């Protein structure tokens, strides 16, 4: 009997919104990136792809690790701009959901989003899309998303996915690794792994000048999370910066952790995830550079 090829849907709507910029229209997205169907997979398999690097890396890693059947739906994106036009966003969600329904039984869904998108009439379109996908495929299908570390993570996003994987570098240079990580996690879920994830909202909206990852307080926080990943089997931790310009009122830092095989309960939640006392003093995030305190 031939081996069952795992069927994985591919989709994404990618935008980093700035509330003070002009509205991102359908024309903006179609000019920048609008790919559907088999063209998405063909492009992802090119040595140099026009697709976001995490999507191409996911497809290539799945190809390298066994038989599977990609189910490409819609991948569209726009460079950082204003809120996405509401009617166009709803049309994208409708197209993706219709594709999921028409595809028949699926084993997984991979979502490549940015995570800091707002719409003209929706404060959390990333969460809306993920929730619509979960509603369409049900609770037994693996749903994994990759997000930029500037994502404004919401409980809706966390509740609708099995795992969210965030960039770990700023400037961003690890999109390929995160796409590959999503593929490896998808394979592990197919083998029986059952991840659980939890979000902790930290009371912090640091200035962007302190949020590089090569050095400084945020880089050390990222490194702390990765040491815990290496030293504690089955725990992943990502700290999302958020994007303060998404709205006139900024959001707070999010730390999101994922634990293998069982829910993260109250008794062990903080030992597995970033702890508030591990944060640097707030004044470390007020410095223009390490060791130099801004006056005033």
187: CATH: 3.40.50.360
| Domain-embedded: residue 294 | no
Judge whether 65 and 185 are in contact, CB under 8 Å.
no
- What is the total count of domains within the chain? 1
Averaged pLDDT, 147-152 = 91
Nearest to 137 by CA among 165, 96, 166: 96
Nearest to 76 by CA among 121, 122, 111: 111
pLDDT over 70 (residue 155): yes
10 burial via Cβ count (<10 Å: 0-12, 13-18, 19+): buried
| Domain-embedded: residue 252 | yes
| Domain-embedded: residue 23 | yes
| Domain-embedded: residue 214 | yes
| Domain-embedded: residue 293 | no
pLDDT over 70 (residue 243): no
| Domain-embedded: residue 291 | no
pLDDT over 50 (residue 264): no
Q: What is the pLDDT of residue 119?
A: 97
Judge whether 239 and 225 are in contact, CB under 8 Å.
yes
Q: pTM of the full predicted structure?
A: 0.84
Which residue range is the domain that position 122 belongs to? 6-286
The pLDDT-based confidence of 284 (bands split at 50, 70, 90) is: low
């Amino acid at each position: 009997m031939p081996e069952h090829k795992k069927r994985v849907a591919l989709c994404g709507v990618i935008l980093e919104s700035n509330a003070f910029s002009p509205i991102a229209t359908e024309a903006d997205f179609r000019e920048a990136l609008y790919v559907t169907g088999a063209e998405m997979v063909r492009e992802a398999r090119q040595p140099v792809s026009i697709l976001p690097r995490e999507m191409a890396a996911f497809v290539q890693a799945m190809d390298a690790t066994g038989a599977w059947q990609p189910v490409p739906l819609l991948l569209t994106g726009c460079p950082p701009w204003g809120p996405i036009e509401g009617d166009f966003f709803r049309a994208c969600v409708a197209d993706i959901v219709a594709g999921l329904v028409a595809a028949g039984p699926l084993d997984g869904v991979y979502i490549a989003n940015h995570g800091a998108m707002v719409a003209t009439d929706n404060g959390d379109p990333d969460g809306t899309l993920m929730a619509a996908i979960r509603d369409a495929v049900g609770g037994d299908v693996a749903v994994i998303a990759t997000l930029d570390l500037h994502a404004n993570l919401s409980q809706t996003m966390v509740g609708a996915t099995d795992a969210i994987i965030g960039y770990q570098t700023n400037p961003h240079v690890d999109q390929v690794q995160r796409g590959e990580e999503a593929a490896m996690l998808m394979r592990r879920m197919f083998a029986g792994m059952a991840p659980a994830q939890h979000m902790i909202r930290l009371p912090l909206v640091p200035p962007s000048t302190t949020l590089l990852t090569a050095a400084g307080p945020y880089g050390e926080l990222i490194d702390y999370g990765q040491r815990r990943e290496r030293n504690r089997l089955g725990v992943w931790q990502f700290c999302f910066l958020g994007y303060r310009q998404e709205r006139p009122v900024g959001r707070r830092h999010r730390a999101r952790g994922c634990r293998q095989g069982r829910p993260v309960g109250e008794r062990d939640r903080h030992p597995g995830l970033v702890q508030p006392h591990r944060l640097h003093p707030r004044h470390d995030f007020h410095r223009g550079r390490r060791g130099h305190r801004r006056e005033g």
